[in-house]
Amino acid sequence: APDAPAPVIRQLDEGAINRIAAGEVVERPASAVKELVENAIDAGARRIEVAYADGGKTLIRVTDDGCGIAPDDLPLAMSRHATSKIDGSDLLDIHTFGFRGEALPSLGAVGRLTITSRVKGQDAAELRVAGGKTDPVRPAALTAGTVVELRDLFFATPARLKFMRTDRAEAAAITAIIKRLAMAEPSIGFTLRDVTGGGEGRVTFRADPENGELFEALHGRLANILGREFGENALRIDTEREGLRMTGYAALPTYSRGSSVAQFLFVNGRPVEDKLLFGALRAAYFDFLSRDRHPAAALFIDCDPQLVDVNVHPAKSQVRFRDPGLARGLIVSGLRHALAEAGHRASTTVAG
């Protein structure tokens, strides 16, 4: 009402700001896993182990053998908008998964977070943050790399806690995230362990030999994740157009699925859920599949980071190409070409 007194404008405290940001960055346990594993990849890890309990609700622990965080930097890593990955001068020049400096403070605001880390040649140290309250840095024991342990996710935001799905559903989402990141990084070894109730369920994606050929490593990893049958029916894709490159594997139309569960798209190594790109994939197979069938593919679009904006949403699963038509054209024509050629090969084999 016009006669009512104007409301008081308040500056929110850091804790409230972090909890609000956490709402966007950390939707569910799987998004926490995604942020932590992406940090491990950014840190140059060669092996990453993820353990979780109760669908990730009570425990998520990510262990890596990456570069580590120096003891003096631990409080900074935990503060908002602090990142070692960009200097902020060019938001289109991004070569890492992270750059917003929001994941660790967000997780520390909504759960109980402990980071233990060691930089080569320095002492290991540990920092705990729970519900936004930070303890002083303490000495710790660790040979190398970083261990981030997140307990009781959303204990500090009961409303969000209520939106958690069953342990089973959350565990499935965690597995899906790990599979996606493992597809993008075939040279990193991944282990996923369900340690619920002291139990032990384990999925391992072994690292392919470091010096292995790129396509070989990718093919091996995809067969590992999507199944041998995908591997046997997948066409190698490697095509380029005006600075945009598409690599990966797309399955023959005969290996189509009843839904879009086996479609994985990556832009500059980042898993994306992008309508434009998925639409292009569908369009490419249009003449090869009936309406109720869906193609299976894992495709990697790579380009100069200047040609694509990844800073569209905090979860970074949306991208904006400078020239969307070019991206679409690359996918549609690149795949059609590969499919036509495979069809041609098949028919000449039969004829001959």
List contacts with Mg ion (CB under 5 A): 39, 98, 103
Query: What radius of gyration do the chain's Cα atoms show?
Result: 22
| Residue with smaller CB distance to Mg ion, 105 or 334 | 105
98 binds ligand ADP (CB under 6 A): yes
Q: Which residues of 157-195 are buried (b: 16+ CB within 10 A; e: fewer)?
A: beebeeebeebeebbebbbebbbbbbbbbbebbbbbbbe
**Cβ distance to Mg ion smaller for residue 53 or 107:** 107
Question: Using CB under 6 A, which of 52, 99, 300, 321 touches ligand ADP?
Answer: 99
Of 346, 286, 275, 279, the C-alpha closest to 313 is 275
Taking the complex as a whole, the smallest distance from the CB of residue 17 to Mg ion amounts, in Å, to 17
119 binds, among ligand ADP, Mg ion, none (CB under 5 to 8 A by kind): none
Residue (of 109, 99, 91) closest to 32 by Cα position = 109
Size of the site for ligand ADP (CB under 6 A): 21
Q: Are 1 and 78 a contacting pair, CB within 8 Å? A: no
Please, which residue, 102 or 194, has the CB nearer to ligand ADP? 102
Q: Choose which of 22, 53, 104, 156 interacts with ligand ADP (CB under 6 A).
A: 104
User: What are the CA-CA distances from residue 250 to residues 14, 65, 253, 337 (Å)?
Assistant: 47, 32, 9, 12
Surface-to-core class of residue 43, CB atoms within 10 Å of its CB (0-12 exposed, 13-18 middle, 19+ buried): buried
> Per CB under 6 A, does 40 bind ligand ADP?
yes
The three-class DSSP label of residue 109 is: helix
Q: Give CB contacts under 8 A, 24+ apart, made by 76-80.
A: 77/104, 77/115, 77/127, 78/104, 78/105, 78/108, 78/113, 78/115, 78/127, 78/129, 78/134, 79/105, 80/14, 80/17, 80/18, 80/21, 80/105
Which range of residues in 64-72, 188-196, 203-211, 290-298 is near ligand ADP by CB under 6 A? Answer: 64-72
From the list Mg ion, ligand ADP, none, partner contacted by residue 66 (C-beta under 5 to 8 A by kind): ligand ADP
The length of the chain in residues reads 352
Q: Give yes or no for residue 101 binding ligand ADP (CB under 6 A).
A: yes
DSSP 206: P
Identified binder of ligand ADP from the candidate list 102, 149, 170, 208, rule CB under 6 A: 102
Residue 171 in contact with residue 192, Cβ under 8 Å?
no
Q: Is 116 one of the binding residues for ligand ADP (CB under 6 A)?
A: no
Using CB under 6 A, pick the residue from 66, 189, 253, 334 that binds ligand ADP.
66
Compute the least distance from the CB of residue 305 to Mg ion, in Å.
Answer: 17
> CB of 105: closest distance to ligand ADP in angstroms?
6
Residue 74 Cβ, how far from ligand ADP at the closest point, in Å? 9
Three-state SS at 262: coil
Q: Is 150 in the site for ligand ADP (CB under 6 A)?
A: no
User: Which partner in ligand ADP, Mg ion, none is near 99 (CB below 5 to 8 A by kind)?
Assistant: ligand ADP
Residues in 77-96 that interact with ligand ADP by CB under 6 A: 77, 83-85
Q: Does 64 bind ligand ADP (CB under 6 A)?
A: yes
- Report if residue 51 touches ligand ADP, rule: CB under 6 A: no
* DSSP states along 281-302: HHHHHTTTS-TT-B--EEEEEE
Asked whether position 69 contacts ligand ADP by CB under 6 A, the answer is yes
Does residue 67 touch ligand ADP according to CB under 6 A?
A: yes
CB of 38 to Mg ion, least distance (A): 6
DSSP state of 257: B
Which one of ligand ADP, Mg ion, none interacts with residue 146, CB within 5 to 8 A by kind? ligand ADP
Q: Residue 68, by phi and psi: left (phi above 0), alpha (psi -120 to 50) or beta?
A: left
Chain center to CA of 120: 26
Residues that bind ligand ADP (CB under 6 A): 35, 39-40, 43, 64, 66-69, 77, 83-85, 98-104, 146
